[in-house]
Amino acid sequence: MLKGGRGVWSAVMAVVALGILALASWMYARSGFGALAGIASGSMVVHMDFDVFWHSARALWEGRNLYYDTGGPDSSANPPFWTLLISPLGLLEPLTAYRSFVLITVLASVVSLAWMATELRLRAGWAAVGVGMLLLSSPLLGTLALGQMYPLLALGLVAAWVADRRGRLTVSGISLGLIVAVKPQLAPVLLWPLARRRWRAFGAALASGATATLAAMVVAGPGALLDWLGYVGSRRPDGYWDNNTLPGAAARLFRENDFVEPIAILPWMEPVAYVLGIGIVILTAVKARRGSEAGLWALGAASLLASPIAWHNYLLLLGPGILLLLARGRVALALLLLALQFIPPQWSESWRDEGTVVAALALTLYFCILVAHWLAFLTYGEEAAKASTAVPDRSVSVE
């Protein structure tokens, strides 16, 4: 029985979630499920992200520059360590390599979500709902079609979270360090052990990240790391609708761009967005210090918000955190987040190149969805912690 304000809000969120699912289903039906067709496509143009990865891996084998002499459609935005990891795929033909990579990432997605659900002792019915919706979510389908790495990062986050919960702090730290070595923009997740004084985990994270980076430098040469730093240092948000970060939203809404008419010309809003991003990371780290189970997922969301560029597909990194909310009784909130992850890229088609304030705000929807995830994890606090007493926490205190 619903009681008080929380019951009313839960009912409202449940109704909104159903409405969003209906809208997303209509958009999928109208568009013909383009993401599924993209996964099955035999064109490497469709799998553009993996095409970039593959050309970098082939360049590594052939001793060419990993960022400026790959022959690919673009330079990789990832450090040399990622190219080292996927280098075996550079020995295969591009399409065969892509399909192999899809199998690996699908397996990583299934394992990470099943592992999280099992660790949480999530009821079978809710586990089927949560895991099933995440496996069919727009970020995951888009990730598979483009050939992106995010399922592997999500598996690393789950490994770190579970290991910390079980008191295996070194393993947890190693997982975090490798994640940051692959995707440095997730560096704020290192504040999770630091804020809680998990010194062993924090030290292991620094050591594993440094070792991975050094190994890549030995294989690819120190110049590769400098080339990567130069490339990513030159990238700036351009207002593209799929970039759901604070600086990305500021570029879209407050300066001239090629995608939509801004609502106002306020160039100073971009620097403000970066400052706000830093503030969000600090606030989230302070909250994480109190030991909330959702601290890692909140910091993951904060790191994406603060980044110059983070595509909507990054949202799948936060999927395991939604299962946490579901397991701790925040069912309506979890269902709302799951529904928001269902909204496909076709949402943007009606609003692109429009010169109205409504269009600019509509193309900022994915930013709002990321904010909703961050707030959900950030505000997960004492009430949820009390509910979690039914599931013993096997972590150990090292404070």
**Is residue 164 in a domain?**
yes
65 — phi, psi (to 5°)? -65, 135
Report pLDDT digits (tens) over 1-10.
345 556 788 8
Average pLDDT of span 127-151: 95
Average pLDDT of span 321-325: 96
Report pLDDT digits (tens) over 13-56.
889 999 999 988 888 777 766 777 889 889 999 999 999 999 99
Tokens, residue 345: 């890229």
Q: How far apart are CA 48 and CA 38, in angstroms?
A: 11
- Indicate whether 110 pLDDT > 90: yes
What is the per-residue pLDDT for 4?
A: 54
Q: Work out the mean pLDDT of the chain and round it to a whole number.
A: 90
Q: Give the least confident one: 77-86, 117-126, 342-351.
A: 342-351
User: Using 50, 70 and 90 to split pLDDT, how confident is the model at 290?
Assistant: confident
What is the per-residue pLDDT for 241?
A: 86
Average pLDDT of span 277-288: 94
**Is residue 27 in a domain?**
no
Domain count, the chain: 1
Q: Which residue has the higher pLDDT, 239 or 3?
A: 239
Domain span at 272: 42-390
Measure Cα distances from 386 to 320, 389, 397 in Å: 20, 6, 18
**Is residue 36 in a domain?**
no
Report the half-sphere exposure of 257 (CA within 13 A, side-chain side): 28
**Is residue 366 in a domain?**
yes
Report pLDDT digits (tens) over 53-109.
999 999 999 999 999 988 888 888 999 999 999 999 999 999 999 999 999 999 999
**Is residue 11 in a domain?**
no
Listed residue (88, 27, 22, 104) closest to 344, CA to CA = 27
**Is residue 28 in a domain?**
no
**Is residue 261 in a domain?**
yes
User: Using 50, 70 and 90 to split pLDDT, how confident is the model at 390?
Assistant: very low
Q: Which residue has the higher pLDDT, 264 or 177?
A: 177
**Is residue 301 in a domain?**
yes
Report pLDDT digits (tens) over 166-176.
999 999 999 99
- Indicate whether 395 pLDDT > 50: no
